[in-house]
Amino acid sequence: MVRCKASEEAIAFCDLIAEQTACLFAVRDAELFVLAVHEAIVNAVKAVRRLGLNEGTILLFFSITDDEVTVAVEDDGDGIPKEMFKQLGRKTLSDVLLAESGRGLLLIHEIMDMTAVVERADGRRTLVMKMQRAQQRPF
Amino acid sequence: MKQHWLSFELEMITEPAYECIKLTGRLAYDTQLAAEQKLLVAAAAVKRRLVVIDVSGLQFLDSTGLAFLVRFFKQVVSANRAMAMIVRDNAVLKKILLIAKLDRLLPIVADEQELLSLPPLRSPDSIGQEELYSAWQQCRS
């Protein structure tokens, strides 16, 4: 688990962790895995900033099994807006072709093998996503 | 897709038949201020009818970067110009552009040669986006 202050530094740091995780645990598509984690972290940073929390943090969790890598992202903000997540499955990247925002979550959904939002006891939401591991691994 | 550079650079090259805009570094959330400023200046400086964006030098592209590319595309087309993207051997960038379905907006080609071999480009000074895109679609199928 990694906890960082929601900032550009946190985005860069989490990108590096995602790169190393993708490489070490040989996920199905390392570059796209990094992009999906990056998008989730950017969403989390934006959620904290939306609430104007100067000291707000984001949390990044990894869970690794023989078959897959699971990533969870939480924030001190309001997480992913419920309406936005409800649109997943109904809305695709084709629907936002000319839009100048709103692609992040759709990219995550497209890239990862599984995406879900878990409601926490305090009403906030955690984004959980999974990617399969490749057959050929460094270890 | 190594992405440790926290910078975004843009270079504009005027060729006889088109304007080439080469992007390098990161086009992402954390470089958005620099990207917005540089793309705005580039859009205003375009003189040729055909604009080619070379994204092969990008080391990282996220949804914010995709939004910038779409905004730039809309600016180019609204000025009655045509736009295409060049990816060269950057397979990761190409994959991201295709996932984002940008191939439904504009031609995404390997290099200048592929672009200039499209039939309407025999007269690139009068090319429109629709004409360019449909020529590319025909060549694809």
Q: Give A21-53 as a 3 state SS string.
A: HHHHCCECCHHHHHHHHHHHHHHHHHHHHHCCC
Q: Rounded to a whole number, what is the distance in Å from the CA of A117 to chain B's nearest CA?
A: 20
**A84 in contact with B, Cβ within 8 Å:** no
- DSSP reduced 3-state for B117: coil
If you average pLDDT over residues B76-82, what whole number do you get?
A: 95
A66's CB contacts (< 8 A; 6+ apart) are: A133
Query: A28-75 pLDDT, tens per residue?
Result: 999 999 999 999 999 999 999 988 888 899 999 999 999 999 999 999
CB contact under 8 A, A12 and B1: no
Q: What are the DSSP calls for B45-98, one per residue?
A: H--SSEEEEEEEEEEEE-HHHHHHHHHHHHHHHHTT-EEEEE-TT-HHHHHHHH
Query: B50-74 pLDDT, tens per residue?
Result: 999 999 999 999 999 999 999 999 9
Per DSSP, helices labelled H in chain A are 8-24, 30-50, 82-86, 104-111
If you average pLDDT over residues B63-86, what whole number do you get?
A: 96
Question: What DSSP state is assigned to residue A91?
Answer: B
Domain ranges of chain A: 2-132
For A36, the closest chain B residue by CA position comes to B62
Q: Which CATH class is domain B8-140?
A: alpha beta
Taking contacts as CB-CB distances below 8 angstroms, the residues of chain A near B102 are 97
Taking contacts as CB-CB distances below 8 angstroms, the residues of chain B near A58 are none
Using CA atoms, how far residue A60 sits from A15, A19, A72, A107, in Å, is 11, 14, 6, 18
Residue in B8, B26, B29, B71 to test binding to A, most A beta-carbons within 10 Å: B29
Q: Which CATH class is domain A2-132?
A: alpha beta
Please name the residue that has the structure tokens 């093998």: A113
Q: CA–CA separation, B124 vs A29, rounded Å?
A: 38
Confirm if A118 and A126 have CB atoms less than 8 A apart: yes
| ipTM computed for the complex | 0.92
